[in-house]
Structure 1
Amino acid sequence: MDYTHLGRTGLSVSRAILGTMNFGPQTSEDDSHAIMDRAHESGINFFDTANVYGWEKGEGITEQIIGRWFAKGGGRREKTVLATKLYGDMGDWPNEGKLSALNIRRALDASLKRLQTDHIDLYQFHHIDRETPWDEIWQAIEVAVAQGKILYAGSSNFAGWHIAQAQEAAKARHFTGLVSEQSIYNLIKREVELEVIPAAQQYGLGVIPWSPLNGGLLGGIIGKEQEGKRRLEGRSKEYVDEHREQLESYENLARDLGHAPGELALAWLLHQPGVTGPITGPRTMEQLDSAVAAVDIRLDRDALDKLDAIFPGHKPAPEDYAW
């Protein structure tokens, strides 16, 4: 396993990041525990979750599964860089969502209880809160840091100007502010290259891509369809019907390079500027092993250029759309 620092921090994290969104809804608790054990065996030390995962309001099902895994002992918690998130509504009463100081305090304490730990290593804002001022947010986070309940703060789904706004407000308070940004980023969805990644690099945030296979479209979907392993419907079918030639070119290139399509997509992200590592949310052990294998793939300039030709990206703004 390869490791890197998370943004400008001294925190060492694995370049493969274990996403846990499927734990509970798609993957049983026993299988989830086995996947987390295998992740440690593979050298993965960075686990990502959120208080809303499990998708039953207020339950925090996925955090509870992780908490019971930590409770087994054996150094599980000590070996894990634990990231969770808040923002989504955890109840129907006012102040049970978003980023008010009250919800930050309550949501953090609830996550700590479910996760059976005394601190969160990376506490992330799952979405921008346009109604809460940054001074309020940072004051609440500063208190949590002083209490030892969290170590670092991160963002998710922020625009570039949100990152700048957050960091300038933190700077005025002589506070660290954000150390990471978690965004949708993959060969198909590359809009973050315009402003989010440049902003993250300017302010020293590590970029953590989510949906690195774009809902499985980069995981060999054409081949799976032809083999009868996957039936396309809804938006996936519409996308494949419209972009079949592009996806076929991609899967042919993966075959020529000797890599599985999904592993190639993950490896491409690991070669992008500012990227800490992609989050993969395995439902099975095989999917976890595939994510680990991608870390060892080295792509030369010719391969990267061919991928850019199939899936054209963006220059930083404003050069992408102006002179």
Structure 2
Amino acid sequence: MEYTNLGRTGLSVSRLCLGTMNFGPQTTEQDSFGIMDRALEHGLNFFDTANTYGQKQGEGITEQIIGRWFAQGGGRREKVVLATKVYGKMGDWPNERGLSARHIVRSCEDSLRRLQTDWIDLFQMHHVLRTTPWEEIWQAMEILVAQGKVLYVGSSNFAGWDLARAQESAAHRDFLGLVSEQCLYNLLTRHAELDLLPAAQHYGIGVIPWSPLHGGLLGGAIRKLAEGGAARTKGGRAADGLAEHRATIEAFEKLSADLGHDPANVALAWLLSRPGVTAPIIGPRTVEQLDAALGAFDVTFSDQVLNRLDELFPPIGNGGSSPEAWAW
């Protein structure tokens, strides 16, 4: 396993992050336990979850599964860098969502209980909420850090200017502020390159891309459909995406075959090669899918292949950050 620091911190995390959103809705508890055990066998120590995962409002099903896995002992909790989130709707009352100080503190306490742990390594805001002042957010986070319940704070689905506002506010309070940003970023969705990635690099914020395979489209979708698989791409947004990008996906799968690698691993390896990226989030539903994802570390790119990927999946405008992406 390869490791890197989480942003500008001294915390070492694996270069792949285990996403747990499938634990409960798609993957049984016992199979989820097996995936987490195998992750540790591989040296994968970075686990990501959220209080809303599990599809049952207010219950935190996925966090509960992870908590029961920790409770088995064997050093499981000590080995894991644990990330969870706050923001989403956890009940029908107005203060059971968002980023008020009340909800942040209450959500942390609830997550700790469900996860059966004394601390959260990375407490992430699941979305920006511009109607809550940063002074209030940071005051709540500072309390949790002072109590030892939270060690680091991260964000998810922020814009570049949200990162800047958050960090400038934290600096005025002599607080570390954000150390990571979890964003949508993959070959098919490169908006983050305009402002988010430059802002994150400027402030020393590690980038944790979610949906690195774009809902399965970059994971060999056409080949799997021909083989009778790829259930995720047979309907809904994924099916629409495949219809829109079919020619590109076909060319990408051919390029991957020519390289001798699975398309999913090529897509992951491309993200691993991007400046500022800490660890793409993988969401295996089986142990076999987890094992297969580690093949991303075997993929290397020549300049010619990187240029071909840019041809297939063009960056926005002229490429790179804004304003140069669209201006002189």
- TM tier relative to shorter chain: over 0.9
Query: Counterpart amino acid of 1:285?
Result: V
**Mapped partners of 1:64, 1:282: distance in 2:** 18
* Unmatched 5+ stretches in structure 2: none
Residue deviations 1:237-273, cap 9 Å, x none? 3322222111111000000000001111001100001
Query: Counterpart amino acid of 1:297?
Result: V
Q: Greater CA deviation, 11-20 or 89-98?
A: 89-98
**Secondary structure, aligned partner of 1:78:** helix
**Mapped partners of 2:35, 2:225: distance in 1:** 27
**Secondary structure, aligned partner of 1:162:** helix
Query: Counterpart amino acid of 2:294?
Result: V
**Secondary structure, aligned partner of 2:37:** helix
Residue deviations 1:90-138, cap 9 Å, x none? 0111211111000011000000000000000000000001111000000
Q: How does 1:143-162 map to 2 (within 5 A)?
A: 143-162=143-162
Q: Greater CA deviation, 300-309 or 235-244?
A: 235-244
Counterpart in 2 of 1:131?
131
**Secondary structure, aligned partner of 2:154:** strand
Query: Counterpart amino acid of 2:323?
Result: P
CA contact (8 A) 1:207 1:276 kept: yes
Residue 236 (structure 1) shift: 2.5
TM-score (norm 2): 0.97
**Mapped partners of 1:163, 1:237: distance in 2:** 33
TM-score (norm 1): 0.98
Q: Greater CA deviation, 289-298 or 105-114?
A: 289-298
Residue 184 (structure 1) shift: 0.5
Residue deviations 1:270-313, cap 9 Å, x none? 00010001001110111111222212322222221111111011
Q: How does 1:1-323 map to 2 (within 5 A)?
A: 1-230=1-230, 232-313=234-315, 314-323=319-328
**Mapped partners of 2:241, 2:93: distance in 1:** 39
**Mapped partners of 2:180, 2:237: distance in 1:** 30
**Mapped partners of 1:289, 1:311: distance in 2:** 27
Residue 227 (structure 1) shift: 2.1
**Mapped partners of 2:12, 2:121: distance in 1:** 12
**Mapped partners of 2:59, 2:237: distance in 1:** 29
Query: Counterpart amino acid of 1:303?
Result: V
**Mapped partners of 2:169, 2:159: distance in 1:** 16
**Mapped partners of 2:189, 2:280: distance in 1:** 14
CA contact (8 A) 1:101 1:140 kept: yes
| Dislocated runs of 4+, deviation >3 Å | none
**Mapped partners of 1:172, 1:8: distance in 2:** 18
Query: Counterpart amino acid of 1:83?
Result: A
Residue deviations 1:186-227, cap 9 Å, x none? 000110000000000000000000000000000111111222
**Mapped partners of 1:245, 1:253: distance in 2:** 12
**Mapped partners of 1:109, 1:233: distance in 2:** 38
**Secondary structure, aligned partner of 1:26:** coil
Query: Counterpart amino acid of 2:280?
Result: P
Residue deviations 1:74-93, cap 9 Å, x none? 00000000000010010111
Among the aligned pairs, what percent are the same residue?
A: 64
CA contact (8 A) 1:180 1:206 kept: yes
Q: How many residues align?
A: 323
* Unmatched 5+ stretches in structure 1: none
The CA RMSD measured in Å over matched residues stands at 0.9
